[in-house]
């Protein structure tokens, strides 16, 4: 991969390693330009490029590493020199050199990606201690430090960034207020009615909103650190002030070397992102194109793509960017499309819909003949955004009654089908993928959504287009005559989800009944006989899992035994030589010395190889089939239960030692881990389930790599979901914050049951989540807001599983008929003569 | 089963275990002393034949585990899936579905007077 750059290659320097600067590098690598140029990137911050869009999550559990946009090796792997924490102080255009704190570096081509800085209004007192800005991770560290002995915080600026900053202050548990100079919040995006609704919703979250307030000066407070004095001499006291009142281009380097600068700042660029010096390009928020600065990431990415083409003799041009935005600020949906205020086109007409009960506001701006959508505004619900955006971006003719697009959809509002979209319709705006691009990929042989995503990168940015992308791909595949076969196996023409519904709705409790009623060839079975089909090693365990999740009858019952994989049948893990390993449950990894001694004694007595597992328990290897009942007899006698290490089921809940012992712990993580493990033990699901509970943000239990991860906060628990370790590591996503014990349990109940209902066979939560239409927002709607009205049912189902839990080994040991299976030979008491062990490091292992 | 076969078989059939030792729709292992080997007995009540005997030894993993696999059918042929690497073997002739060059030995078996008889 790392092809050496030829000696004497032209030198390309990129100043700035923010989101756009990083995207430029990715684009250059994609074009192979890293083999054409010797590339050096200078970044002023301590961190390599990170996701500034999700910055406020830094206070709700994410760290710098998880916000990073690439792996630490990405630059080195492609032979690109990344010099972070190295500020460029000047550009010497006569010598073609940039000057940094570390020295002088010659360039042949130079790209300015220096971004912007936060605008701090010229208010006397704005330089006081604890007057901060919100832009970088270092800014956030400073805010966190200042918040340590603060109880209140004020954000100056009620625009997009201001509300993001307010969210961050809430994340620090400060009583938060927003002060906006304009008469309403987000004046750029919403009108007076939308602003009023937005205000109402944000105030309901406990954030104080002051609009139409101009701060005159800031002075020392009486009850708090600061006092802000407004134009009408009213005052507000607060411990901490964050300015987030807009951005300004960071164009000082360009000014100092006399590049052309716009009247109100910004480095002037042409359609190829070239500045007034053709050796120098500019991209992102520092660049001024046709008198406009673009303060969003998507236009910055487009510029990066154009600049990469310009640097490699390509001919892409930047032709402006749409500033439509879809946001969730403080949990409130806000969307603005095109000319949302209806100010730019004479004769524009509007439709408005306002629901003060549900707190939703939608507005359409249409052409005077009501045929074209010029703009739209949404507050409270962004569900119609994607459809409206397609009408707007593609100039599609509106339906006869445009109002139907924003009225409540009970009467089946017209949805825009994928066939109505033109080839030029942009599906993914992050990566600028059109419907035409997707069709081209399909024409080149891609046969499913995953390969389309891989080829085009569509839906791998913000993910907002996932549902639209899937419908386009499905529609186009269908149009090409590709039938997407969703059958589980040759015995069932159903998906796992469909079988699950059938089992529940019809109350089918056995595999034989299910295959008889719903199998592919119910009626004509094997050969000429009329016997039913048998099923196979795909459908049998899948149905066994469904039955267990619905009815939770012991898997050891005669009707269920033949369905199980060998590990479930014998309730132990088969190893490569046919022996088994035994893993008793040790909830939360907490074990008494007495029980630990029993494990040692059992291991010793049966000659078992003993190893500590990653899930904080003990694995005893090398037991033959006929030894399992004796071993379990002793373990159960000592108070152990089966650990389900063999099942697609709840495995372990890992924990750190928590507040009981640890000087940093803020909650009893072990207690919660044991509680969770006792609650969900025995739960069977499409795949294994791993949990962890950490007692503080240091995260020693590695909860973010689990299906369900819980991290203690001062106020309760943060819940992370759908993480994974193993072959395809995935960070868990923050799902809910500061839950109390009861809320945490209810949320996990619903989440797990929803996963069990809707996942494919052998699909871990991480993959399920990535394929879930609507993504994390949809999952939050279902689980946290109960948008499907399923909450009670999911909880009741989980309660049924919990109420019917029984240790499968105890169940087996009490039934001589079930024990009969645990014989190495049914007609001989001897062991398997082919199993030979040898000694290594003081223990037995397979020879 | 015709009379000629039955007569001939009386000479070579031997009792392996009782019918009660079998597990319906699944397998158990039995020691076949006369051949110094182990066989997997698969019991499919309702089918004809209703008992099959194949090698318990899995040629892919070299472990004696076939009896502990899942019984099923592929394209209307009864098969057993190895529990280790999941290859399927046809019960009728022992041939591996994924690799026809590999096969398990098979034995004729029958149930008589609640006893499982194997032909050697």
Peptide bond into A803 cis (omega under 30): no
**Amino acid A272: pLDDT:** 96
What φ, ψ does residue A612 adopt, rounded to 5°? -80, 135
Nearest C-alpha in A relative to B32? A827
Q: What residues have CB less than 8 Å from B17, skipping those under 6 apart?
A: A826, A827, B28, B30, B41, B115, B116
| Per-residue pLDDT tens over the stretch A160-207 | 889 989 988 988 889 999 999 999 999 888 999 999 999 999 998 889
Q: What percent of chain A is predicted at pLDDT more than 70? A: 96
Looking at the predicted structure, is the pLDDT value of residue B9 above 70?
no
pLDDT band at A526 (very low <50, low <70, confident <90, very high): very low
Looking at the predicted structure, is the pLDDT value of residue A505 above 70?
yes
| Lowest mean pLDDT across A67-71, A436-440, A804-808 | A67-71
Cross-chain CB nearest to A537 (options B57, B65, B70): B70
Please give the ipTM for the structure prediction: 0.90
Flag whether residue A565 sits within 8 Å of chain B, measured between CB atoms.
yes
Question: What dihedral do alpha carbons A157, A158, A161, A166 form, nearest 10°?
Answer: 90
The pTM for the full model equals 0.58
Looking at the predicted structure, is the pLDDT value of residue A528 above 70?
no
| Per-residue pLDDT tens over the stretch A8-40 | 899 999 999 999 999 999 999 999 999 999 999
Spell out which residues of chain B touch residue A534, defining contact as CB-CB under 8 Å.
Answer: 25, 44, 71-73, 78
d(CA B38, CA B34): 10
pLDDT band at A483 (very low <50, low <70, confident <90, very high): low
Cross-chain CB nearest to B26 (options A536, A562, A625): A562
| Per-residue pLDDT tens over the stretch A300-324 | 999 999 999 999 988 889 988 878 8
Looking at the predicted structure, is the pLDDT value of residue A148 above 70?
yes
| Per-residue pLDDT tens over the stretch A95-143 | 999 999 889 999 999 999 999 999 999 999 999 999 999 999 999 999 9
Flag whether residue A54 sits within 8 Å of chain B, measured between CB atoms.
no
- What secondary structure does DSSP assign to A364-390, as a single string? EEE-TTS-SEEEEEEES--TTHHHHHH
Flag whether residue A272 sits within 8 Å of chain B, measured between CB atoms.
no
For residue A147, the SS3 value is: helix
Does A832 contact B64 at a Cβ distance shorter than 8 Å?
yes
| Per-residue pLDDT tens over the stretch B105-114 | 999 999 999 9
Spell out which residues of chain B touch residue A832, defining contact as CB-CB under 8 Å.
Answer: 38, 64
- Integer distance in angstroms from the first to the last C-alpha of chain B? 18
What residues are paired with B107 via a beta bridge? B53
Does A821 contact B64 at a Cβ distance shorter than 8 Å?
no
For residue A813, the SS3 value is: helix
Flag whether residue A815 sits within 8 Å of chain B, measured between CB atoms.
no
Looking at the predicted structure, is the pLDDT value of residue A241 above 60?
yes
Mean pLDDT of A626-632: 97
Mean pLDDT of A633-651: 96
Q: What residues have CB less than 8 Å from A837, skipping those under 6 apart?
A: A607, A622, A844, A845, A846, A847
Q: Mean of the per-residue pLDDT values for chain A?
A: 90
d(CA A424, CA A429): 12
Does A570 contact B68 at a Cβ distance shorter than 8 Å?
yes
How many residue pairs bridge chain A and chain B with CB atoms within 8 Å of each other?
A: 107
| Lowest mean pLDDT across A92-101, A228-237, A423-432, B32-41 | A423-432
Does A537 contact B81 at a Cβ distance shorter than 8 Å?
yes
pLDDT band at A452 (very low <50, low <70, confident <90, very high): confident
Flag whether residue A626 sits within 8 Å of chain B, measured between CB atoms.
no
Joined together, the tokens standing for residue A697 give 């943000």
Q: What percent of chain A is predicted at pLDDT more than 90? A: 67
pLDDT band at A416 (very low <50, low <70, confident <90, very high): low
Parallel/antiparallel/unpaired status of strands A325-329 and A332-338: antiparallel
Does B73 contact A535 at a Cβ distance shorter than 8 Å?
yes
Question: What dihedral do alpha carbons A471, A476, A480, A481 form, nearest 10°?
Answer: 10
Strands, DSSP E only, in chain B? 13-18, 26-32, 37-43, 51-55, 70-74, 77-81, 88-90, 106-107, 109-112, 115-119
Spell out which residues of chain B touch residue A569, defining contact as CB-CB under 8 Å.
Answer: 26, 68
Flag whether residue A816 sits within 8 Å of chain B, measured between CB atoms.
no
What φ, ψ does residue A35 adopt, rounded to 5°? -95, -15
Interface of B with A in 80-109 (CB under 8 A): 81, 83-84, 86, 88
Looking at the predicted structure, is the pLDDT value of residue A432 above 90?
no
d(CA A655, CA A18): 36
| Lowest mean pLDDT across A144-153, A475-484, A776-785 | A475-484
Flag whether residue B59 sits within 8 Å of chain A, measured between CB atoms.
no
**Amino acid A229: pLDDT:** 94
| Per-residue pLDDT tens over the stretch A552-562 | 999 999 999 99
Mean pLDDT of A473-499: 83
Which stretches of A638-761 are DSSP H helices? 669-680, 741-758
Nearest-CA distance from A817 to chain B in Å?
10
Are A814 and A771 spatial neighbours (Cβ–Cβ below 8 Å)?
Answer: no
Nearest C-alpha in B relative to A822? B28
| Lowest mean pLDDT across A377-391, A471-485, A615-629 | A471-485
Mean pLDDT of A517-529: 60
Q: Residue A518's closest CA among A544, A530, A500?
A: A500
Nearest-CA distance from A583 to chain B in Å?
19
Cross-chain CB nearest to A561 (options B23, B29, B72): B23
Cross-chain CB nearest to B73 (options A534, A563, A821): A534
Nearest C-alpha in A relative to B29? A825
pLDDT band at A781 (very low <50, low <70, confident <90, very high): very high
| Lowest mean pLDDT across A94-108, A463-477, B52-66 | A463-477
Work out the number of other CB atoms within 10 angstroms of the CB of residue A69. Answer: 18
Helix axes A741-758, A669-680, angle to 10 degrees: 40
Q: Which of the pair, A2 or B109, is modelled with greater confidence?
A: B109
- What secondary structure does DSSP assign to A657-675, as a single string? -GGGT-SS--S-HHHHHHH
Q: Residue A761's closest CA among A491, A581, A512, A516?
A: A491
Does A490 contact B74 at a Cβ distance shorter than 8 Å?
yes
Q: CA torsion sign, A47 to A52 to A54 to A56? A: positive
Flag whether residue B9 sits within 8 Å of chain A, measured between CB atoms.
no
| Per-residue pLDDT tens over the stretch A673-705 | 999 999 999 999 999 999 999 999 899 999 999
């Amino acid at each position: 991969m790392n092809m050496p750059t030829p000696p004497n290659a032209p030198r390309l320097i990129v100043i700035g390693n923010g989101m756009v600067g990083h995207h430029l590098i990715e684009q250059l690598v994609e074009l192979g330009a890293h083999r054409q140029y010797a590339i050096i990137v200078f970044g002023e911050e301590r961190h390599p490029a990170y996701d500034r869009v999700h910055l406020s999550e830094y206070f709700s559990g994410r760290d710098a590493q998880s916000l990073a946009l690439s792996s630490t090796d990405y630059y080195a792997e492609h032979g690109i020199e990344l010099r972070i924490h190295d500020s460029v102080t000047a550009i010497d255009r006569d010598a073609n050199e940039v000057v940094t704190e570390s020295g002088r570096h010659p360039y042949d081509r130079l790209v300015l990606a220096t971004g912007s800085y936060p605008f701090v209004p010229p208010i006397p007192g704005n330089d006081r201690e604890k007057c901060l800005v919100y832009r970088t991770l270092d800014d956030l560290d400073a805010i966190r430090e200042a918040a340590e002995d603060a109880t209140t915080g004020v954000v100056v600026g009620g625009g997009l960034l201001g509300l993001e900053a307010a969210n961050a202050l809430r994340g620090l548990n400060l009583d938060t207020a927003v002060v906006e100079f304009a008469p309403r919040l987000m004046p750029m995006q919403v009108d007076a009615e939308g602003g009023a609704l937005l205000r109402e919703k944000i105030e309901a979250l406990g954030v104080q909103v002051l609009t139409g307030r101009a701060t005159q000066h800031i002075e020392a407070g009486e009850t708090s650190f600061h006092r802000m004095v407004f134009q009408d001499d009213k005052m507000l006291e607060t411990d901490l002030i964050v300015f987030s009142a807009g951005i300004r281009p960071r164009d000082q380097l360009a000014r100092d070397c006399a590049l052309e600068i716009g009247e109100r700042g910004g480095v002037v660029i042409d359609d190829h992102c070239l500045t007034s010096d053709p050796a120098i390009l500019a991209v992102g928020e520092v660049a001024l194109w046709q008198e406009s600065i673009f303060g969003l990431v998507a236009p910055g990415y487009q510029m990066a793509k154009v600049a990469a083409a310009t640097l490699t003799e390509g001919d892409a041009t930047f032709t402006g960017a749409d500033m439509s935005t879809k946001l969730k600020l403080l949990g409130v949906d806000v969307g603005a499309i095109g000319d949302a205020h209806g100010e730019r086109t004479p004769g524009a007409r509007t439709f408005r819909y306002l629901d003060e009960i549900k707190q939703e506001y939608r507005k359409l701006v249409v052409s005077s003949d009501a045929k074209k959508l010029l703009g739209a505004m949404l507050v409270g619900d962004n569900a119609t955004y994607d459809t409206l955006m397609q009408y707007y971006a593609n100039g599609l003719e509106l339906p006869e009654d445009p109002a139907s697009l924003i009225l409540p959809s009970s009467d089946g509002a017209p949805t825009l089908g994928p066939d109505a979209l033109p080839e030029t319709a942009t599906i993914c705006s992050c990566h600028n993928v059109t419907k035409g691009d997707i069709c081209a990929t399909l024409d080149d042989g891609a046969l499913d959504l995953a390969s389309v995503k891989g080829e085009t990168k569509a839906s791998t940015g913000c993910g907002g287009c996932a549902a639209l992308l899937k419908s386009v791909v499905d529609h186009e595949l269908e149009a090409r005559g590709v039938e997407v076969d969703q059958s589980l196996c040759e015995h069932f023409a159903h998906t796992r989800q469909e079988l699950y519904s059938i089992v529940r709705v019809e109350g089918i409790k056995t595999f034989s009944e299910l295959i008889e009623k719903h199998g592919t060839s119910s009626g004509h079975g094997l050969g000429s006989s009329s016997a039913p089909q048998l099923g196979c090693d795909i459908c049998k365990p899948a149905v066994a899992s469904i039955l267990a999740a619905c009815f939770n009858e012991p898997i050891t019952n005669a009707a269920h035994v033949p369905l199980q994989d060998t590990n479930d049948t014998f309730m132990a893990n088969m190893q490569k030589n046919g022996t088994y390993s035994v893993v008793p449950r040790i909830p939360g990894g907490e074990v008494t010395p007495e029980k630990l001694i029993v494990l040692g004694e059992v291991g010793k007595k049966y000659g078992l190889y003993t190893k500590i597992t990653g899930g904080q328990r003990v694995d005893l290897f090398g037991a033959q089939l006929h030894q399992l009942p004796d071993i379990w007899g002793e373990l159960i006698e000592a108070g152990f239960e089966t650990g389900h290490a063999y099942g697609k089921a709840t495995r372990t809940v890992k924990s750190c030692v928590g507040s009981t012992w640890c000087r940093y712990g803020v909650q009893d993580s072990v207690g919660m881990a044991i509680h969770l493990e006792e609650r969900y033990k025995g739960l069977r699901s499409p795949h294994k389930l791993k949990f962890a509970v950490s007692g503080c943000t240091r995260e020693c239990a590695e909860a973010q790599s689990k299906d369900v991860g819980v991290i203690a906060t001062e106020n309760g628990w943060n819940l992370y979901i759908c993480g994974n370790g193993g072959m395809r590591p995935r960070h868990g996503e923050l799902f809910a914050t500061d839950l109390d014990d009861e809320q945490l349990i209810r949320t996990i109940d619903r989440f797990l049951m929803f996963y069990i209902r809707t996942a494919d066979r052998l699909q871990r939560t991480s993959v399920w989540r990535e394929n879930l239409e609507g993504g994390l927002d949809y999952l939050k709607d279902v689980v946290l807001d109960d948008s499907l009205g399923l909450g009670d049912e999911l909880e009741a189902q989980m309660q049924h599983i919990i109420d019917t839990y029984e240790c499968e080994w105890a169940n087996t040991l009490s039934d001589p008929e079930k024990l009969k299976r645990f014989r190495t030979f049914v007609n001989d008491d001897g062991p398997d003569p082919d199993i030979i062990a040898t000694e290594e490091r003081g223990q037995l292992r397979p020879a | 089963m015709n009379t000629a076969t039955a007569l001939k078989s009386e000479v070579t059939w031997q009792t392996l275990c009782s019918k009660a030792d079998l597990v319906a729709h699944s397998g158990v292992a039995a020691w076949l002393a006369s051949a110094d080997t182990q066989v997997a007995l698969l019991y499919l009540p309702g089918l004809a034949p209703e008992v099959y005997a194949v090698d318990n030894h899995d040629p892919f993993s070299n472990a004696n585990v076939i009896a502990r696999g899942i019984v099923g059918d592929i394209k209307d042929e009864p098969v057993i899936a190895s529990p280790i690497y999941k290859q399927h073997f046809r019960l009728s002739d022992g041939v591996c579905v994924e690799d026809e060059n590999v096969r398990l030995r098979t034995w004729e078996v029958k149930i008589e007077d609640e006893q499982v008889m194997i032909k050697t």
